[in-house]
Amino acid sequence: MDDMDEDQGASGAFVFNGNWREFAPIALTNLLLMIVTLGIYRFWAKARERRYLWSRTDFIGDPLEWTGTGKELFVGFLFAILLIGPPVLVLQFGLQALIVRGHPGAAFLIGMGAYVVLLYLIGVARFRGLRYRLSRTYWHGIRGGSDVQGWRYGISYFWKTVVGSLAAGLLIPWSMISLWNERWGSMSFGPHRFESYASQGPIFGRFMLFYLLPVVGCVGVVGTAAMSMGGAAPADPAKVGIMLVAGVVAAYLAIGVIALAFYAAFFREGVGHLLLGKLRFHFDARTIDWFKLILGHAGLVIVTLGIGLVFISYRNWAFFIRHMAASGEVTLAEMTQSPTAAPRQGEGLLDAFDVGAF
């Protein structure tokens, strides 16, 4: 390894050099192989995609490398099925059988138990998914990871998610930020441990919009109805119906935009308060950037009659890297291989629950 110091500005630390023309043969071949193998090939397809995306991503002038394999992801998925299969079977069939036989109380208690287990496993999945991805990401021959298995994080995920839903959900921003800090605070890259000190304060205002929207909507509906009924001429039922339908559609769109605005602020706050040694990370995507990304996804899928779905991972990764930045200092002479143990299975639980690692 070269002995040199890098002092990189916030912009330009991360560079994505890929293009969709290079990615297309990989994505389309993966699609054909998944069809032929009835979906089993998707684990190897994901590994192929990541090898390409990582190899086209430079950090301070040197490319990343993905060393995970399809076999690891497949084994991880089988492991996940063994874990989540029993509680899912209980929820699907066991509860109905108990209720039919006249034991609703027992069905309720067992159902709650299964729900607790699933919520706990979702937390474990998020932790182990991030741990696995860091352990298979190399830069200058150095990888990341964590010595923590994630089982205790599952307990934190469970109780913080439950507490976050209390007080009419007003503690959800605290829950999300607290779990983000705990998850990243257990990770490392090379000899350095990540530090995360994000705060819920900067994102709480946007979260409150979820509460204001129903109030504004109710006032609007009541006002519209009052104006229609209070006019000199009787209101046209067809026009009132159209206005109500338009109001419902507008409410759904508004909820989506507010959710996007909240998540954009959450991600900026989380990444913007993430440290690794003397490096500080930044993420500058605004709500409008996320909106354009999702609108592009929808347009691509519609125009290509669904085939464009295979390019979603490419567009997400390119978006993520192009908005990532880092500032500070990296001393390569101090960077040594990570002492953490590397997991043997892939992110099977994360795949099974379909939740993001970040």
Task: Give the integer Cα–Cα distance in Å for 157 and 178.
Answer: 9
User: What's the pLDDT tens digit per position in 145-156?
Assistant: 888 888 899 999
Determine the angle formed by the axes of helices 237-272 and 201-230, rounding to 10 degrees.
Answer: 170
Q: How confident is the model at residue 7 (pLDDT cuts 50, 70, 90)?
A: very low
Q: How confident is the model at residue 354 (pLDDT cuts 50, 70, 90)?
A: low
Sequence-ordered list of residues with C-beta below 8 angstroms from that of 97, at least 6 positions apart, any chain: none
pLDDT at 6: 44
pLDDT at 231: 59
pLDDT at 34: 94
Q: Give the residue, 19 or 333, on which the prediction is more confident.
A: 19
- pLDDT greater than 50 at residue 227: yes
Mean pLDDT of the 46-52 span? 95
**Angle at alpha carbon of residue 283, lines to 334 and 281, rounded to 5°:** 15
Q: How confident is the model at residue 350 (pLDDT cuts 50, 70, 90)?
A: low
pLDDT at 9: 47
- pLDDT greater than 90 at residue 175: yes
- pLDDT greater than 90 at residue 297: yes
- pLDDT greater than 70 at residue 204: yes
Task: Give the integer Cα–Cα distance in Å for 252 and 259.
Answer: 11
**Is the CB of residue 56 less than 8 Å from the CB of residue 16?**
yes
- DSSP helix/strand/coil, 138: strand
What letter represents residue 120's amino acid?
Y
- DSSP helix/strand/coil, 136: coil
Residue 354 zone, left/alpha/beta (φ > 0; ψ -120 to 50; rest): left
Two tokens, residue 213: 């929207």
**Is the CB of residue 357 less than 8 Å from the CB of residue 133?**
yes
Sequence-ordered list of residues with C-beta below 8 angstroms from that of 122, at least 6 positions apart, any chain: 157, 349, 353, 355
> What is the maximum alpha-carbon separation in the chain?
85
pLDDT at 238: 73
pLDDT at 309: 92
User: What's the pLDDT tens digit per position in 249-275?
Assistant: 777 788 888 889 999 999 999 999 999
Q: How confident is the model at residue 23 (pLDDT cuts 50, 70, 90)?
A: very high
- pLDDT greater than 60 at residue 188: yes
CB count within 10 Å of CB 252 equals 10
φ, ψ (nearest 5 deg) of residue 238 = -65, -40
pLDDT at 299: 95
Q: How confident is the model at residue 21 (pLDDT cuts 50, 70, 90)?
A: very high
DSSP state of 198: -
Two tokens, residue 7: 């002092």
The Cα-based distances of 113 to 27, 84, 160 in angstroms read 41, 13, 17
Q: How confident is the model at residue 111 (pLDDT cuts 50, 70, 90)?
A: confident
- pLDDT greater than 70 at residue 336: no
pLDDT at 3: 42
Following CA atoms 45, 143, 129, 284 in sequence, which dihedral angle do they give, to the nearest 10 degrees?
-90
Mean pLDDT of the 313-330 span? 92
The Cα-based distances of 227 to 213, 247, 323 in angstroms read 21, 15, 47
- pLDDT greater than 90 at residue 290: yes
For the ranges 8-12, 244-248, 268-272, which has the lowest average pLDDT? Answer: 8-12
Which residues pair with residue 64 across a beta bridge?
139
User: What's the pLDDT tens digit per position in 51-108?
Assistant: 999 999 999 889 999 999 998 888 888 888 887 777 777 777 777 777 777 778 888 8
**How many helices (H) and strands (E) would you count in the chain?**
12, 11
192 half-sphere exposure, CB direction, 13 A CA radius? 19
**Is the CB of residue 328 less than 8 Å from the CB of residue 279?**
yes
CB count within 10 Å of CB 135 equals 22
Task: Give the integer Cα–Cα distance in Å for 106 and 102.
Answer: 9
Task: Give the integer Cα–Cα distance in Å for 206 and 214.
Answer: 14
What letter represents residue 260's amino acid?
L
